[in-house]
Amino acid sequence: MISIKGLYKQFGQLEVLKGINLEVKKGQVIVVIGPSGSGKTTMLRCLNVLETPTKGVISIEGQSLDFSKSVSKKSVASFRRLTGMVFQNYNLFPHKTALENVMEGPVIVKGEDKTAVRKKAQALLEKVGIGDKIDYYPAQLSGGQQQRVGIARALAMEPEVMLFDEPTSALDPELVGEVLKVMKDLALEGMTMIVVTHEMRFAREAADEVIFMDGGVVVERNKPEEIFTHPKEERTRKFLNMIQ
Ligand code: ADP
């Protein structure tokens, strides 16, 4: 369903992604781990075209962008709709309520009917467990609640794939569980997900496969039980020893 071929990204002189190749099947949950600076976030942002890759081909559900050629704004806009992104710092509109945050995309970007979107947004906020706080502003919500609004907002666009960029790393420890629970439920529903996280328990419990990135490449990919107990590569072993 997702295919990344020969993906490179350079910031000035700094080459951050050095030829990423990755295939993901529909319904798979992929957890991406690796040291800080290894390019995990950049890869995710390239998939959402928040960063423009230097070269490489990305395909999702039959739509392709080849960054070796010039890509039109229109094709980027249409491609971007295939993925929903959940950010480390929630990125909610501070002057909009939870409900308005979730409604924004479908109404403004997709031009959907406001009454129908309101219903959908209410249902999504209930699904993530904050149906009773739909009229609250982000500042009136805890970090865990804000992040669940962030997840509902991404889901409201009905993406094919959900991308999570360290969704719990800004949270106080006691709030991490409620966000991971929503993510696990989504995984069980069959959502295709790519999750950059340091939560190894989530990786063990929810991932179909774990990808270890280092120095801008995918070093190793395997089922969680394999990669955590019998990593094949020395670099993976060293990283896991450091964090476990
Ligand atoms: P990770 O998510 O694995 O920690 P990142 O993808 O965030 O890694 O970053 C990889 C490298 O790219 C880092 O050295 C970072 O400083 C650099 N980088 C990321 N974004 C930018 C940017 N917009 N401009 C310049 N350098 C960047």
Burial class (CB in 10 A: 0-12, 13-18, 19+), 105: buried
Alpha-carbon distance of 23 to 109, in angstroms, equals 29
Nearest CA owner, ligand 1 atom 7: 41
ipTM greater than 0.95: yes
Tell me, using a 6 A CB cutoff, whether residue 42 lines ligand 1.
Answer: yes
Counting from 1 in the atom list of ligand 1, the atom nearest the Cα of 35 is 3
Alpha-carbon distance of 117 to 148, in angstroms, equals 18
Query: Residues of the chain whose pLDDT is less than 50?
Result: none
DSSP state of 21: E
pLDDT value at residue 18: 97
Report how far ligand 1's centroid is from the alpha carbon of 18 (Å). 13
Tell me, using a 6 A CB cutoff, whether residue 36 lines ligand 1.
Answer: yes
Say which amino acid occupies 219.
V
pLDDT value at residue 243: 84
Contact 191/24 with Cβ under 8 angstroms? no
Counting from 1 in the atom list of ligand 1, the atom nearest the Cα of 39 is 6
Counting from 1 in the atom list of ligand 1, the atom nearest the Cα of 51 is 23
Alpha-carbon distance of 194 to 90, in angstroms, equals 17
From 7, 9, 11, mutation site for ligand 1 pocket: most ligand atoms within 8 A of C-beta = 11
pLDDT value at residue 78: 93
Report how far ligand 1's centroid is from the alpha carbon of 74 (Å). 27
pLDDT value at residue 244: 72
pLDDT value at residue 89: 93
pLDDT digits (tens, 9 = 90+) for 156-190: 999 999 999 999 999 999 999 999 999 999 999 99
